Amino acid sequence: MAEDPMSTPDAAVPAGWARTRERGTFALMRLMFFVMPHLARPVVVYIVHAIALYFFVFGRRARAASLDYLTRVAKALPESDIRPTWRVAYRHFRAFGTSILDKLDTWSGRLSVDDVVFEDYATMRAVAHAPRGALVLGSHLGNLEALRALGTRGRRVKLNVLVHTQHADYFNRILQKAGATDVELIQVTTLDPAKAIELRQRIDRGEWVVITADRVPVHGGRTVDVNFLGGSAPLPIGPYVMASVLECPVYTLFVLRRGARNHVHFEPFAERVTWQRPSRDAVIADCAQKYAERLEHYLRLEPLQWFNFYRFWRN
């Protein structure tokens, strides 16, 4: 663990690039939302591949970040047969474009239960039927939105997805038009008392709060350094602070596309996240490292499905 485990984001992590990528993602999703209903998916796939090629060619920083990531994968996971070449980096970009199509398929209801494999459905079902909700730690690995498929089996769970994007309201309108009335994006920059009370009320109603735990927010925030793929990387402490405030069970969720189907991995993370003041930093550091290890475990299965296109590691 680093000497200063509760540090601020490194200046080398470019918030400006994160905002640029957000705008690119927003534009691509808006285009796909209006185009997909009028074209067959195989046709749209070719369009997405062309757009991915554009971002690959002209997104110098994103391309460099992808190659850096692939270099680390090749060294840490030699069994993956991944090589840090431009060809593989383009496949990385193309996989990101395909994931956006999968998101839209999920939101519009075209993703059926037959397209999803629940690796531990009994656990997921028990949490869905519990009187109180849960905090779910997601990631930018695979298609997190496949969680909506839970609604096709038994009780439909209301999902509150915490985001940092300035386009949250617009995305909510897109979701509603697509029929995803059980998903709400909630823009958060800080966990102020009013927001904490609102989220706790949602938990008390049996709803789930979903937050990604593998990315430093665009607007900054406190982080903790973890060992990830053989290097030191900052992860946000926000998810674990939120877990302590909500006082609810915490789970991890990883959804990987393997072949033509999405595989949902839903695991218990902690019954509660609590600490005494002197142990706060140590508890948060342990939680972040535990999450990093689970992320690396599933990343080994599909390394090209982790979509963090910015400088992630300290060194």
Contact 35, 44 (CB under 8 A): yes
User: How many Å is the Cα radius of gyration of the chain?
Assistant: 19
What are the residues facing 142 on neighbouring strands?
Answer: 255
Q: What is the mean pLDDT of the chain?
A: 80
pLDDT at 141 (0 to 100): 92
Helix (H) or strand (E) holding 243: helix 238-246
d(CA 280, CA 275): 5
Decide if pLDDT at 5 tops 80: no
Decide if pLDDT at 217 tops 90: no
pLDDT at 99 (0 to 100): 83
User: CB within 8 A of 128, min separation 6: which ones?
Assistant: 150, 154, 155, 157
d(CA 148, CA 158): 9
Single-letter amino acid code for the residue at 219:
H
Single-letter amino acid code for the residue at 252:
T
| pLDDT confidence tier of residue 173, bands split at 50, 70 and 90 | low
d(CA 189, CA 107): 25
| pLDDT confidence tier of residue 150, bands split at 50, 70 and 90 | low
Nearest to 149 by CA among 160, 141, 157: 157
Quickly tell me which residue has 């939105």 as its tokens.
145
pLDDT at 26 (0 to 100): 57
% residues pLDDT > 90 (the chain): 44
pLDDT at 109 (0 to 100): 65
Nearest to 56 by CA among 47, 65, 45, 43: 65
Three-state SS for 220? Answer: coil
| pLDDT confidence tier of residue 310, bands split at 50, 70 and 90 | confident
Contact 235, 292 (CB under 8 A): yes
Give the phi and the psi of residue 261 in degrees, each rounded to 5: -125, 150
Other Cβ atoms less than 10 A from the Cβ of 91: the count is 17
